[in-house]
Chains A and B, each alone.
Chain A
Amino acid sequence: MHSRRALTIAACAGTLLFLHPLTWAHAGESDPQDFTLVEKGRSLATAADCVSCHTVPGSGKPFAGGRPIETPFGSITAANITPDRDTGIGAWSDDDFDAAVRKGIRSDGARLYPAMPYTAYAKMSRQDVIAIRAYLNTIEPVRNAVVTNTLPFPLNIRMVMRVWDSLYFTEGEFKPDPQQTNEWNRGAFLVQGPAHCGACHTPKSLLGGDKTSEFLQGSPLQGWYAPNITNDATRGLGNWSVADVTAYLKTGHNRISAATGPMAEAVSLSSSKMDDSDLKAIATYLKSLPGRPENAAKLRPDDPMMMAGSAIYRDQCSACHMLDGHGVPHLFPSLAESSVAHSDDPATLIRLILRGARSVATKDEPTAPGMPSFGWQLSDAQVAAVATYIRNAWGTGTPVTPASVTQARSDLRKRAD
């Protein structure tokens, strides 16, 4: 069997053999250059979106590291994971790689920071990780020595991660639920594992660990608010069908919403390149997660904030988002049905109003409509009024205060994007 495989590979991947002679040295469960293995690895690496963190945008050097990752504790720099032997992971063994991805332990024994989402990747199996390794071995090796630990003292002492791991890290692969369909289980595996949705969408404790009881119920992130992506009626995917979720992940757009900010990158580099069946599985799983009861009181139309917000909405917002709040499908998001607009934390809503936005372009949805910035035009009280109106005209949401807009403006000033 091995020899037949070797012949097949030699026939169609002769170049690979030539470039990576050392890969012969890796013993493993299957031949690391097997096309099937590499394809599986590519698929998982796409779901895991390794390329996003481990690539400097515009560098033309995928996986070569050097990209700063913003965390609440400071900035950390992603490593070079090309097969370069000196500055990448070319010299690592498969065990080294598996320990890094699923245990958070580097080849020299040091602990990784959870900016690398090993807590989620732990759900993958060793075979999954070996496949990813096989795929990474086919990447162009890049010589790029990266200093990864750029956190401030005392966080830069990796030893502290021992404590953190003991609080927040549970090893263990994903166990399918026999009572659920294959599709649901596939979705659950992807969401909890390689796609690591919780890294952004699950709220964090003070120490940066997941609040597991609020899994995927929304979290602040780098000046945005990653919304609730459970089946919550107004704050999550309650208004979205499985087809809506699938379309969003595949194209970045659906009849209600459009991906922007960090999610635009996730769509562009990861989900838009995944199989339709995997996207549908993710959608099925997410829609199965129950929402929370609604508890905000709806503001009356004659509330001063609603009156002012309604005037601003009519004059400034309705030309795109329409008077009924339903926007134009696939072009202008439907505010009436928007989970972003109705999230408990209005950070994304405020940010979009102040700075404008560009939604993602994909092959299937190339328009990439943009929204102008209103920060120069509206005062803090006016932004608060129109945001409050948007949250209460077609649903319920806590009012937005002028003070929170002032704070957002000041926070955003420091952000380049």
Chain B
Amino acid sequence: MTIRRRDLLATSALFVLSTASAHALEIFGQLPWSPNAGNPPTPVKPGPWVYFTGAEGRAMEAIADRIIPPDPQTPGGKDAGCAVFLDRQLAGPYGHRDGLYVRPPFQPGAKNQGSQSEAGPAQQYRMALAALDRACKAKYADKEFAALSDADKDTVLKGLESGDLKLDGIDGKAFFEQAIKDIQMGFFADPIYGGNRDMVAWKMIGYPGARYNYLDWIDRHNERFPLPPVSMTGRAEWTPKG
């Protein structure tokens, strides 16, 4: 027996019992709608690491600052919040591989068949960061990665990139490739996710952010777009002064 949607007149303000969102069994008669419908993003809140341990967070910040070093114009990966971004991502659906196909059997395949790892990103980062610190301590007088000089850090990372430096128990080359992607992703994503603090990355490149209307600009060729970037949570100019 089919159950009919009870909101034929959902737009009325007079009816107290309104319907929920679009999860009824059948839809007919009119487009479903309810106020405040939709699923806006939840801003990342600053604070202690949610996924990383203290040591992992230190290592990741240090890696972020070498992947995207600070310079006089633009902060580096650490101050831009890239490690915070990654921490929150690993604590969430990305880290847990929600929605991905994680059924067995797990067999190794060719690179072009995509990752067949049994461990998800959260687990892989945990293993890799631990292995990285172990490798550094072994090579650099018991210093973890974050305690190395910048030059030594770069040497280690280049070693991972080339494959010369191996990590025990995990593919160091694949780990660093992924770290580059994730850190740079955090750099350029909307600040709502914890990285790109104050939109520093967008300011660096001249990207105006989460805008929706360029109708008055499509014909203006070879001109610099003058407005500051805006994120999904707005920009400073949105708040009235005084």
Q: Is residue A311 within 8 Å, beta carbon to beta carbon, of the partner chain? A: yes
- For window 66-93 of chain B, which residues contact chain A by CB distance below 8 Å? none
Q: Is residue A27 within 8 Å, beta carbon to beta carbon, of the partner chain? A: no
The residues of B that contact A361 with a CB separation of less than 8 Å are 30-31
The residues of A that contact B216 with a CB separation of less than 8 Å are 323
Which residue of B is nearest A56, CB measured? B15
Across the interface, do A308 and B9 meet the contact criterion of CB distance under 8 Å? no
- For window 303-323 of chain A, which residues contact chain B by CB distance below 8 Å? 304-305, 307-309, 311-312, 314-316, 318-319, 322-323
What's the least CB distance linking A37 to chain B, in Å?
A: 29
| Given A308-B237, A385-B238, CB of A358 within 8 Å of CB of B11 | yes
Across the interface, do B240 and A385 meet the contact criterion of CB distance under 8 Å? yes
- For window 24-45 of chain B, which residues contact chain A by CB distance below 8 Å? 30-31, 33-38, 40
Q: Is residue A265 within 8 Å, beta carbon to beta carbon, of the partner chain? A: yes
The CA-CA distance from A377 to B215 in the complex, in Å, is: 24
Across the interface, do B14 and A264 meet the contact criterion of CB distance under 8 Å? no
| B10 interface neighbour in A53, A322, A377, A417, Cβ under 8 Å | A417
> Could you tell me how many residues of chain B have their Cβ less than 8 Å away from some Cβ of chain A?
42
Which residue of A is nearest B19, CB measured? A58
Across the interface, do A224 and B6 meet the contact criterion of CB distance under 8 Å? no
The residues of A that contact B50 with a CB separation of less than 8 Å are none
The CA-CA distance from A382 to B240 in the complex, in Å, is: 7
Across the interface, do A58 and B212 meet the contact criterion of CB distance under 8 Å? no
Across the interface, do A265 and B37 meet the contact criterion of CB distance under 8 Å? no
Q: Is residue A268 within 8 Å, beta carbon to beta carbon, of the partner chain? A: yes
Q: Is residue B149 within 8 Å, beta carbon to beta carbon, of the partner chain? A: no
Say whether chain B's binding surface is mostly helix, strand, loop, or mixed.
Answer: loop
Q: Is residue B233 within 8 Å, beta carbon to beta carbon, of the partner chain? A: yes
What's the least CB distance linking B10 to chain A, in Å?
A: 7
Q: Is residue A370 within 8 Å, beta carbon to beta carbon, of the partner chain? A: yes
Which residue of B is nearest A359, CB measured? B11
- For window 343-361 of chain A, which residues contact chain B by CB distance below 8 Å? 355-358, 360-361
Which residue of A is nearest B228, CB measured? A311
Q: B residues touching A (Cβ–Cβ < 8 Å)? A: 4-18, 30-31, 33-38, 40, 210-213, 215-216, 227, 230, 232-235, 237-242
- Beyond the given pairs A304-B242, A315-B211, 7 more chain A to chain B contacts, judged by CB atoms under 8 angstroms and listed by A's residue number, are A67-B14, A68-B15, A222-B13, A304-B241, A356-B37, A368-B31, A417-B18
A-B contact pairs, 14 of them (CB 8 A): A58-B7, A58-B8, A68-B15, A308-B241, A311-B238, A318-B213, A319-B213, A322-B215, A356-B35, A356-B36, A373-B35, A375-B36, A382-B239, A417-B12
